[in-house]
């Protein structure tokens, strides 16, 4: 009896297929063995418990920072942290008050002006966003990103001609840059 190589390949093939099937099945069994919480009204509260704990921690940090700011209203670090935590807690109007207090101490804080411009844009308070962006541009005349964003605000306000003017200047000024390309695409979107 002569041994044929095709039988060896057949046996090896069956072993490989068997091993693949074993690993696939074991992965599926592993997934089903993990306890999964049902997706119903009763169990929704359990899922949110962790986020509630985080909310409590956030509110505790906010209260602590408010105490620090009340004791020392010129503490710019505490003001900044407090404003950011308030934003995280979706208390945007209150956050804006503390950011404005920072600007009263140092009106040239570009980081704060940028945050306020973006926050008000996201809240669809385009007039406020426009004012903050103009303040940034007044401090840094060559801040192309603020100029581009001002064009976006103008579009949202329906002032397309003003946006077109800003973006055209940016394309001329930065023809090969990413910002120049974005301005060019935005101009094409106005057509």
- The pLDDT tens digits for 135-172 are 999 999 999 999 999 999 999 999 999 999 999 999 99
Contact 162, 154 (CB under 8 A): yes
Look up residue 165 and give its DSSP letter.
Answer: H
Tell me what pLDDT residue 45 has: 55
- In three-state secondary structure terms, 37 is coil
98 shares a domain with 78: yes
The domain that contains 168 carries what CATH number?
Answer: 1.25.40.10
Contact 86, 95 (CB under 8 A): yes
The domain that contains 72 carries what CATH number?
Answer: 1.25.40
Q: Is 100 part of any domain?
A: yes
Q: How many domains, in total, are found in the chain?
A: 2
Q: How far is CA 183 from CA 12, 125, 145, 152, 159, in A?
A: 61, 22, 10, 10, 16
Domain boundaries, position 127: 117-191
Q: Is 63 part of any domain?
A: yes
Final residue of a domain: which of 72, 106, 140? 106
Q: Is 95 part of any domain?
A: yes
Q: Which residues lie closer than 8 Å to 133 by C-beta, 6 or more apart?
A: 113, 117, 146, 149, 150, 153
pTM of the entire structure? 0.69
């Amino acid at each position: 009896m002569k041994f044929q190589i095709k039988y060896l390949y057949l046996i090896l093939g069956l072993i490989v297929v068997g091993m693949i099937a074993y690993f696939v099945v074991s992965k599926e069994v592993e997934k089903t063995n993990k306890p999964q919480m049902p997706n119903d009204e009763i169990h929704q509260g359990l899922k949110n418990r962790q986020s509630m704990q985080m909310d409590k921690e956030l509110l505790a940090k906010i209260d602590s920072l408010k105490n620090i700011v009340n004791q020392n209203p010129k503490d710019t670090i505490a003001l900044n942290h407090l404003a950011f935590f308030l934003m995280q807690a979706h208390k945007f109007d209150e956050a804006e008050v503390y950011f404005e207090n920072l600007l009263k101490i140092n009106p040239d804080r570009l980081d704060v002006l940028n945050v306020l411009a973006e926050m008000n844009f996201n809240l669809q308070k385009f007039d406020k966003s426009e004012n903050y962006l103009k303040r940034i541009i007044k401090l840094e005349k060559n801040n192309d990103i603020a100029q581009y964003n001002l064009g976006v605000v103008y579009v949202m306000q329906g002032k397309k001609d003003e946006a077109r003017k800003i973006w055209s200047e940016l394309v001329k000024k930065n023809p090969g840059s990413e910002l120049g390309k974005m301005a060019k695409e935005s101009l094409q979107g106005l057509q």
